[in-house]
Structure 1
Amino acid sequence: METSIYSVIAFYGLAITILGNATLVIFARNIVHSVLFLAVTFIAMGGLFLLLDADFLAAVQVLVYAGAVCIMVVFGIMLIQRADMKATNLFNRQTFAGAGLVALVVAMCAVFAGRTAWTDLVAAGEVPANTVQAIGELLLSKYVIPFEVAALLLLVALIGAIVIARDEEVKANVGD
């Protein structure tokens, strides 16, 4: 399997975009800007999935993560209604402890990745041309029960969030 120079350039461009925006998510002082950088990171991850010919995963990445998750975080920020949005993403003194923990996790991942026999994990067969149809058939036949349970759990979480937000709104209005 040959890789073209354009695929390599696209990969490195997406990798730099992901790493740069993920860094900006951490270091941005405004939480709304952090969410926007996170959305760009998720969209670039969708681009990586496209490079791997995983069109369904790319679409899910962009729709669910870049779309729904980032919008949900922005709504959560808006519901909090802080007067000064610039004071929402404060730095603290635990930066070095966090950096040490991240270094430890990266080192452990490197050790495990080095010890994994990757060639044994690769499927011998070709990837089907129409992956969306295969995934859809699996979701609606073999995995229909877990799929429906996940949908019900998301519905319950949504209703719970609405009840909690409404309860806080009622308490705030009673206190006036």
Structure 2
Amino acid sequence: MSGSFAAFFILSLLTIGGAVFMISFTRVVHMVISLGVTFLSIAGLFILLEAEFVAVSQVLVYSGAISILMLFGIMLTKHDAIEDGGSRGVNRIVGFLIVAVFFAICFWAIQRTTWPGPAPISQPDVSNAKQIGMEVFTKYVIPFELVSVLLLVALVGAIIMAKKEGDNE
């Protein structure tokens, strides 16, 4: 068992565990913290894939997003979480069984699949960030600019909507 396999196994468990806890917790703060664990674990998986730039981007973008999500989640929700005991236990058992069957099918399919070998690296002397930059600004310039315009329009729309709400009060 190699170190990279052990790291992959641990990060995979953290990713899946964080996602499962995120949907099963009832308090917003716990949900956001488990979402943060999931995103950090995914960044670790990117590092194992030697995509350091994507991993750093994941941490920078989603750490900011998670802090904002936590602020809005705490401000906009009720904090007196009342547990309803009715059919919640039955739903958990059925949900667990569905997830277990899905996991077994996926595990069986992954074990039966023959995977091709790794692709050869075309430019070993070029860094990962430089390769991403070359791809984005040569092949994908138009989609990149369209996304930036879309984000700008969303920002302006949010400001206009917030100003209209503030004027009504």
- What is the TM-score with the length of structure 2 in the denominator? 0.73
Partner of 1:76: 72
Partner of 1:119: 116
CA RMSD for the aligned pairs? Answer: 3.5
Residue identity over aligned pairs, in percent, reads 34
Partner of 1:50: 47
- Residue identity opposite 2:79 in structure 1: M
The answer to whether 1:85 aligns with 2:88 is: no
Give the Cα–Cα distance (whole angstroms) in 1 for the partners of residues 143 and 86 of structure 2.
Answer: 41
Residues 32, 164 of structure 1: alpha-carbon distance in 2 compared, 3 angstrom cutoff: farther
TM-superposed CA distance for 1:110, in Å, is 6.8
8 A contact 1:30–1:89 mirrored in 2: no
Residues 113, 87 of structure 1: alpha-carbon distance in 2 compared, 3 angstrom cutoff: same
Number of aligned residue pairs: give it.
Answer: 164
1:163 aligned to which of 160, 164, 168: 160
Describe how 1:10-159 pairs up with structure 2 within 5 A: 10-65=7-62, 67-77=63-73, 80=76, 82=77, 84-87=78-81, 95=91, 99=95, 118-119=115-116, 122-123=118-119, 125-126=120-121, 128-129=123-124, 130-159=127-156
- Residue identity opposite 1:85 in structure 2: H
- What is the TM-score with the length of structure 1 in the denominator? 0.70
User: Unpaired runs of 5+ in structure 1?
Assistant: none
